[in-house]
Structure 1
Amino acid sequence: MKEKQWTGWGPGEQAEQHYLVEPRALAGGGDLRHVSAFLRASGWKDQSKSGGPLSLQSPDRKIRITYDPYTLPGGWTIHGQASGHQDEWWVTLGRQTPVEIVAGLTDALTRPRSAHAPNVWTPLHEQRWRTQPDAGHVTAVSPDGSAWMQFQQDSNGRAMWWSGAEDEQGHGWTASFTATTPMHLVQSFSAALASPEPAMRPRGRVPYSARIRTTSVSVLPSQLSAWQQARIAAARAAAWAHSSVRNSRPYTTARPRTTVASARSRR
């Protein structure tokens, strides 16, 4: 899926009506460029083919992200190859998963992992999600009941995570994580899911639901472009900083080993 590039607008531009949608989990899919442009600016390779799904590969070729709207059920797939102590892992997200929530996970793929132990529940509890323990699983539900995050264990005792959101008509999306998905990525997802920040959608792209709240705003096209470019610039700066740190590590070579016998022979 080849995407149109962002372009600039000249003087005399007209403001466009957009809406701030709350909760963000019910805002609908949104603009894919929120995810893809950030990854490309972070050094990911766009392997999309004309007329085909969006496909991006990490600089080390170990992670692939695709978005396929042409198959059912369609949506996002994130696949990480086995590497070192990390087993192969998968994450799937429905096509109506808001890009702001998808980006919570995919942006984390471009950053160094924190030294702190991840806790998936912390971002949810901070936003007053209710925890509902049940036989075999624990579920946290958003204050308005529209979104959830669930933990359970498979037959081998491995952690499994499942999430999603739906409106009063049952329309929405789900996300699933294999037991081997790195926990810091699951936490980054839960933080984006629970964020109180609204999602912005243009007129005509706001889902119809009694569960959402909207605020009308007037936005200039140049403002939209500037916001997108600021996000891209942040990705490029982070990628440059990471590359600089990696390339500035001192190069050391092993000192030649001198045996006791050879040392004595030179005396």
Structure 2
Amino acid sequence: MKKKQPHGWGTGDQAEQHYLVQPRTLAGGGDIRHVSEFLRASGWRDKSRTAGPLHMESPDRTLRVAYDPYVLPGGWTIHGRAEGPDGEWAAQLGMQTPVEIIAGLTDALTRPRTAHAPNVWEPLEEQEWDMRFEGASYVATSPDGAAWMRYHQSTDGSAMWWTGAKDKQGNGWAAHFTPNTPMHLVQAFSTELAGPEPVMRPRGHFPLSAQIRTWSVSVKPSQLSAWQQARITAARASTWARNSTKGSRPRATAPPYSPASGVRTRR
């Protein structure tokens, strides 16, 4: 007997009902392959056991991304390792953290760090989040009041980032980053956290909440596959370009002696 293919990854092409959900922070977890397939296409190793939790590892073995729904509270763990006493860092994110927001951070793990100084608050300010001090914390809250991001610095100098979203029915998620999480990764996360665009979910795969807006759309599996494949192709192309650049670099040699970069239906 054939196994039933998951949404968006099968071979049938009959249109199915999906929903665009806004705000994205309350859309529910989504398909974890949005994260894992991009990492795999970027050269990461899939260390997952059969029918077990997701466990991905970077090519140089310094980064790990895991998703475990079989423990409480369950969710995502992202861990990094580098040389030096402050080289270990981690992020813990709840199961209902939307994969599109998770991917902001995990996609950034596959790219070289830019020379620009990171600013975690900038994407939130651009979307007119409310910024304020609350005691020893600096807090940003989304215009609808559902999502938040908090930075707290202790008297010993250590700092922590907390973030999350919750509706009035209690649906939501929370996440935190250890003090030495690279700031460009936290900014990549905050960029997707503040993103105004809706995200797509199959029928029945998002929370029932009075605080979300939905638009019904009919989507063929072939369309979903094409969108997913475009994301995977982009990851492969970027990885190939980086590897080609590394391979084409001339070896350093001693210099000679010298003195002197679809139609939407709103519900």
Same fold (TM over 0.5): yes
What amino acid is the match of 2:186? V
Deviations 1:66-120 (A, max 9, x none): 0000000000000111325861100010000000000000000011111000000
Query: Which residue does the alignment assign to 1:260?
Result: none
Query: Which residue does the alignment assign to 2:81?
Result: 81
Q: CA deviation at 1:170?
A: 1.7
Query: Which residue does the alignment assign to 1:9?
Result: 11
Report 1:151-190 matches (<5 A): 151-190=151-190
Query: Which residue does the alignment assign to 1:36?
Result: 36
For residues 176 and 10 of structure 2, what CA distance do their matches in structure 1 show?
38
Report 1:42-191 matches (<5 A): 42-83=42-83, 87-191=87-191
For residues 240 and 118 of structure 1, what CA distance do their matches in structure 2 show?
26
For residues 236 and 154 of structure 2, what CA distance do their matches in structure 1 show?
40
Q: CA deviation at 1:16?
A: 0.4
For residues 156 and 179 of structure 1, what CA distance do their matches in structure 2 show?
12
Secondary structure of residue in 1 paired with 2:50: coil
For residues 255 and 109 of structure 2, what CA distance do their matches in structure 1 show?
37
Larger radius of gyration: 1
RMSD in angstroms over aligned alpha carbons? 1.7
Secondary structure of residue in 2 paired with 1:242: helix
What amino acid is the match of 1:145? G
Secondary structure of residue in 2 paired with 1:246: helix
What amino acid is the match of 1:109? L
Query: Which residue does the alignment assign to 1:199?
Result: 199
Secondary structure of residue in 2 paired with 1:237: helix
For residues 106 and 85 of structure 1, what CA distance do their matches in structure 2 show?
23
Q: CA deviation at 1:57?
A: 0.1
What amino acid is the match of 1:164? G
2:238 matched to 1:238?
Answer: yes
Number of residue pairs the alignment of both structures matches: 252
For residues 24 and 7 of structure 1, what CA distance do their matches in structure 2 show?
22
Secondary structure of residue in 1 paired with 2:25: helix
Query: Which residue does the alignment assign to 1:263?
Result: none
Deviations 1:156-186 (A, max 9, x none): 2122110000010122101100001000000
Query: Which residue does the alignment assign to 1:212?
Result: 212
For residues 28 and 7 of structure 1, what CA distance do their matches in structure 2 show?
19
Secondary structure of residue in 1 paired with 2:157: coil
Query: How does the TM-score come out when normalised to structure 1?
Result: 0.90
Contact 2:9 2:221 in 1 (8 A): no
Q: CA deviation at 1:197?
A: 1.0
Give ranges in structure 2 of 5+ residues lacking alignment: 258-267
Q: CA deviation at 1:56?
A: 0.1
Contact 2:171 2:207 in 1 (8 A): no
CA 1:14–1:23 in structure 2 vs 1: closer, same or farther (change >3 Å)? Answer: same
What amino acid is the match of 2:119? N
For residues 32 and 169 of structure 1, what CA distance do their matches in structure 2 show?
24
Query: Which residue does the alignment assign to 1:23?
Result: 23
Identity %: 65
Query: Which residue does the alignment assign to 1:264?
Result: none
Q: CA deviation at 1:8?
A: 5.4
Q: CA deviation at 1:253?
A: 3.0
Give ranges in structure 1 of 5+ residues lacking alignment: 258-267
Deviations 1:1-33 (A, max 9, x none): xxx7975536xx311000000000000000011
For residues 9 and 204 of structure 2, what CA distance do their matches in structure 1 show?
22
What amino acid is the match of 2:226? A
